[in-house]
Each structure stands twice: as C-alpha cells, then as structure tokens.
Amino acid sequence: PHMMSAGGQIVVTSSTVATTCRESQSAYVASKAALTGLVRAAALDYVKHGIRVNALLPGTTDTELVRGVAGMMAAPDAVWQIGGAQWAKDNIPTMGRMATAREMAAVALDLAAATHPYLTGASIVVDGAMTLRA
C-alpha cells in the first residue's frame, strides 16, 4: 500500500536462462521465465502508480550457489579460484570469467535508483555476452 501512494522501484532477480535453455533444467528455466512474465505484467499493472518493475537477469556469478553446483563447497578457496577460473574460460569465452556478486549488486542498485524514470517492464541481461555466443 505504501508504494501505491508513494511510487518506487521493484527489482526482481531472474536468470539468463529465462531467455535461453539448458538441458535437464526444465523447472528452473520455467521458473525464471515466469519471473520475467511477472515483471512485464506487474509493470503494466503498477505504472500508473509510479511504480517501476524491472528484472535483472544475471549470468554465471561467482557465489556460494555456483560453488555448490560445481561440487566445490569443501574445496579450499585457492582450489576454487583455479577451478572456477578454468570453468569460466571454457564456458564464458567472451569475457573469460564469472561475474562478481559486487558487479551484479551494482546493476541492481542502478535499476532501483530513480535515475531511470522511463524504464519499466524490462529484463536486463548482465552476463558478459555469454548468451550471445552461438
């Protein structure tokens, strides 16, 4: 109710898999695609109240989640740095590295700032051009 009278910004975190597909991830891909649909619909529903709704679609980001998926939670940091760096070189040839959580946070904060009053209903892909490769 506060936002309905005061306006504001909502940033939803989805994933690049909302626009691409990966084998054996049907439920995950569907859930992320649903979030982008929710963002578009909510943007239409709340634009007249001065509420902007946008989605951040991060690519692979060096977080504990990624480390866990890689099966390297128990590995020493030095081993993870080497393994994660090699994985990134093989899978993100455009930039050759994973994003940092700080880089994703900067984009989220920018989307939440009042500096983009005309931006709503958008899904912003931040993946180092990973999804652009053939």
| CA–CA gap between residue 21 and residue 27 (Å, rounded) | 11
Average pLDDT over residues 60-68: 91
**3-state DSSP assignment of residue 93:** coil
DSSP at 98: P
Cα–Cα separations (whole angstroms), residue 33 to 4, 23, 122 = 26, 15, 13
Closest by alpha carbon to 29, among 21, 37, 40, 41?
Answer: 21
Q: Tell me if residue 46 is catalytic.
A: no
Average pLDDT over residues 52-64: 96
Question: Which tens digits make up the pLDDT trace of 75-122?
Answer: 999 999 998 998 888 888 889 899 999 999 999 999 999 999 999 999
| CA–CA gap between residue 117 and residue 33 (Å, rounded) | 25
Q: Which of 6, 26, 28, 94 is catalytic?
A: 28
**What domains are defined for the chain?**
1-59+113-127 (3.40.50.720)
CB 128 within 8 A of CB 95: yes
User: pLDDT band for position 61 (50/70/90)?
Assistant: very high
CB 54 within 8 A of CB 113: no
